[in-house]
Chain A
Amino acid sequence: MNSVTVRALLVRGMLAGLAAGLLAFGLAYLIGEPGVNAGIAFEDSRSHEHGVEVVSRAMQSTAGLATAVLIFGTAVGGIATLAFCFALGRIGPFGARATAALVAAGAFVTVCLVPFLKYPANPPGASDPDTVGQRTILYFGMIALSVLVAIGLIIIGRRLAGRLGNGNAALATAIGCTAVIAAAMAFLPAVNETPKDFPATVLWQFRLASLGIQALLWAAFGVIFGFLAERVLQPHPTRSAQGATEVPGTA
């Protein structure tokens, strides 16, 4: 029964991720593509060696972008659903929707916002192609660290809550986690490779767009998956919604 529930949630989580990815693709096409194009224009203005175009820009900015964002949405939707399964009933007295919203918000902060503060998204032409190996290790390392700290926050927070009360425990763990993340950011090597004449507005708008796309994806996932998960976990939503007022003694 419970294994079946996990499967049902996983299917819906991946579909919610796919739907969120579709919305994110729309936003990426509208507000992200101008930055990509401007970055490529800057790249072309500096180097005169044009390699063979493997995939045309028209395909990259439409079908290619859609493939990437939809696969990304489905995959993170699946992983977030597994996190939801662990979190449900274990992070506090929250129902399906609230848990889904908390997991989505937590995932956005953990795997997107925190790594972004140290290693933000870059448009084409703003990085040194020769350092991609190092940048990849640092970026994924930062995500791994952020996820570990977030898991630690939940475990330690739950333990402290018994002793200090919920408010103090939340405050203490939040301060502790911020300190660990801040120390890690201070000691990890910086990546400052943007050429001096790279247009600042392109860089700024590209990064804002990148953050906005991720924020939309996670917000949409939280809402859509919360709706679907509630229907799985509470098989008769319409009936209980109609008998909306207090129903005492039905436990």
Chain B
Amino acid sequence: MAHSATAPSPLSTPVTAKLPNKLPIRAILPWAAFFGLLMLVLLYFVGAEQGATSLFSGSGVHEWVHDGRHLLGFPCH
């Protein structure tokens, strides 16, 4: 299924008619606000918790995700 816009048609309407519609910004924003934040919290626990900053004391989180943190490129100890 190629959605190529370079079809040799002189009119642009048949091509754009096959393309998916824009999603309205107001439909995206609530999801972006809530899930964007949730995803960033997850990334924080994988990438930075008990390194530069700690929400939980100890080093259990850091040690558990240690190898992934190094290999995904996050600064570690």
Contacts and interface: CB of A to CB of B under 8 A. Distances in A.
Interface string A124-162: 100101001101111110000000000000000000000
A3 B31 CA distance: 8
Interface in B9-23: 13-23
Chain A residues touching B, majority SS: helix
Contact of B23 (A6, A72, A120, A138): A6
B19 A55 contact: no
B55 interface: no
A32 B69 CA distance: 11
Given A60-B67, A82-B32, A82-B35, A75 B43 contact: yes
Contact of B67 (A65, A97, A230): A65
A11 to B, nearest CB: 10
Given A6-B31, A234-B20, A54 B60 contact: yes
A82 B31 contact: yes
B71 A121 contact: yes
B39 A75 contact: yes
Residue from B51, B70, B71 having most chain A Cβ neighbours under 10 A:
B71
Interface string B37-52: 0111011011110011
